[in-house]
């Protein structure tokens, strides 16, 4: 079993609460309130900026050229793929990058992104990759599942589902999972497994909190 699937299995209840959160289920059904989706779009934009910083940190934390290039690829995926995707979706809802940047980070956004950055600052590259993986790989899983529901042409969130379920983002998610597993083969000693599982589980819970914040505000 790969490290990612081992960690996912170890926190199966948390993983399901994240990937099947009421926000996600309502988004898939098209019943999510527009105000909640707008709040999510704003905070996810700010979230991605911090995740770009985390991937830049991954370049610094890398000790091999191969790892540096992988981290550079992940950073490019955020700056050149996911942020562009997000800006396109947000524009359809009347939100510009300036609007989103002016809003400021919500507590749930700060809690999650700083946890990831702290994992990278205090730990090594593997700690950072583990903290990043619930977001990167989880969104791919969510997008693929919701796309299989075949949302109708007039589904209000069809664009979001199509973007995260589509080929470009699915390739990003697969690359992130493969990179994590390759790194784990070198650095995930048996003694570290429980620590890595704890980091993964915490990041997964913070993902669920991020969805919930969009519903609660």
Each of the 217 residues of the chain gets a pLDDT tens digit; together they read 688 999 999 999 999 999 999 999 999 999 999 999 999 999 999 999 999 999 999 999 999 999 999 899 889 988 988 888 889 889 988 999 999 999 999 999 999 999 999 999 999 999 999 999 999 999 999 999 999 999 999 999 999 999 899 998 899 899 889 889 888 888 878 888 889 999 999 999 999 999 999 999 7
Q: What is the pLDDT of residue 168?
A: 87
Catalytic residues, by residue number, are: 135, 207
Residue 131: other Cβ atoms inside 10 A: 24
The torsion angles phi and psi of 105, rounded to 5 degrees, stand at: -75, 135
Taking alpha carbons only, the member of 204, 199, 56 closest to residue 135 is 204
User: CATH code for 3-216?
Assistant: 1.20.910.10
> Quick check: 119 and 53 in contact, CB under 8 A?
no
**Residue 30 backbone class (left: φ over 0; alpha: ψ -120 to 50; beta: rest):** left
The pLDDT score that the predictor gives to residue 215 is: 95
State the pLDDT at residue 22.
Answer: 98
Q: What is the pLDDT of residue 128?
A: 95
Q: Which two tokens stand for residue 96?
A: 């510009």
């Amino acid at each position: 079993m790969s490290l990612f699937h081992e960690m996912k299995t170890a926190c199966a209840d948390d993983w399901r609460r994240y990937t099947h959160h009421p926000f996600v289920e309502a988004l898939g059904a098209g019943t999510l309130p527009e105000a909640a989706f707008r709040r999510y779009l704003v905070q996810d934009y700010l979230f991605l900026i911090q995740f770009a910083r985390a991937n830049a940190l991954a370049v610094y934390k890398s000790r091999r050229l191969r790892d540096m290039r992988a981290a550079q690829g992940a950073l490019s995926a955020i700056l050149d793929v996911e942020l562009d995707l997000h800006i396109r979706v947000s524009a359809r809802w009347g939100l510009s990058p300036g609007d989103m940047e002016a809003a400021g980070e919500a507590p749930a956004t700060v809690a999650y992104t700083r946890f990831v950055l702290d994992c990278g600052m205090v730990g090594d590259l593997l700690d950072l990759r583990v903290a990043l993986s619930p977001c990167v790989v989880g969104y791919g899983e969510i997008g693929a599942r919701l796309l299989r529901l075949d949302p109708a042409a007039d589904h209000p969130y069809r664009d979001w589902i199509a973007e995260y379920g589509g080929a470009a983002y699915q390739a990003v998610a697969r690359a992130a999972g493969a990179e994590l597993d390759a790194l784990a083969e070198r650095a995930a000693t048996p003694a570290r497994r429980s620590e890595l599982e704890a980091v993964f589980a915490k990041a997964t819970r913070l993902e669920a909190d991020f969805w919930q914040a969009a519903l609660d505000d």
